[in-house]
Amino acid sequence: MRKLHLIVLFAMLCSVSANAQMQSCCAKPSDMQAMALNTDFKASHKSPIPFNYTLAKGSMITYHCLDGKDASAYFLPSDAATNKVLIIFHEWWGLNDYIKKEADKWQALLGNVDVYAIDLYDGKVAADPDIASGLASGLDPKRADNIINGLLSKIGPDRQVATLGWCMGGAWSFRATVLAKNQAAACVMYYGFPEKEAKNIKPQADVLYILGDKDKFIKQPFVEDFGDKIKATGHKFTLFVYDGVHAFANPSNPDYNSLSATKAQNESLKFLKDKLELE
């Protein structure tokens, strides 16, 4: 009987631990701070393959924020005047050359759109999981909000704003859609941590979510619950699940899945073109 009691107790503890871990994977952007310190999460993020982007078409810009500090972004303007804007959000590695290349690629794919790759780390970039963990866990959500709001202010009120981000950046892509209010046109989240509090789920645009079927940290039922809360606001939520691990669409990831990344890109492109009313 004593042995049976111990087994039951152990099962209960395991259940509590598993539930806590699942909750941590399905939260607001600030909860990324806790997940960034998770040993398994860090271990799953292999150091990016070295890459130096020498053909960058855009340039770094600086703008002022309401907290009195400056922020920066990689900016790629459209060839012609436009009221369409795409804001790109980096992974926990920071605004590295891979993200700048992605910004150039998305501008070429979309056409008449201004693209900003925002820097949430104020110039810091990591290539080591431990350093990236420190940057992500140390990101002040209030500072991140100020960085986003500062860019929205610089962009101006008469622009249509779409957002796109990966992992940590996927969560902040959604947050930016909320902050953009009636300027928001579309939100793309690549395996971003889903917001779990309905009171914080107030997007003014439809959301497209990309998930890897082998993602150990973001489970599909939680993403679907997140989607249901978005639908309750009157906006559409579309989920695509592809073969791949967490961060499968990041070309700097040694576990990059080219086929799945291409499929995800095609769906994201159709979604953004439709919402931004691009040909």
- Vertex 13, ends 12 and 15: CA angle to 5°? 65
Count of structural domains within the chain: 1
The pLDDT, as a whole number, for residue 33 is 67
DSSP-assigned letter for residue 135: H
Maximum separation of any 2 CA atoms in the chain, in Å: 78
Reply yes or no on whether the pLDDT at 206 is more than 50. yes
Rounded CA separation 92/249 (Å): 14
Q: Which two tokens stand for residue 50?
A: 């070295």
Q: How many CB atoms sit inside 10 A of residue 197's CB?
A: 9
CATH code assigned at 271: 3.40.50.1820
- The alpha carbon of residue 30 and the mean position of all alpha carbons in its chain are separated, in whole angstroms, by 12
68 vs 32: CA distance, rounded Å:
25
Domain that holds residue 259: 2-275
Of 16-20, 119-123, 213-217, give the lowest mean pLDDT range: 16-20
Q: State the pTM of this model.
A: 0.88
CA distance 106 to 266: 11
Which of 9-13, 223-227, 250-254 holds the top average pLDDT? Answer: 223-227
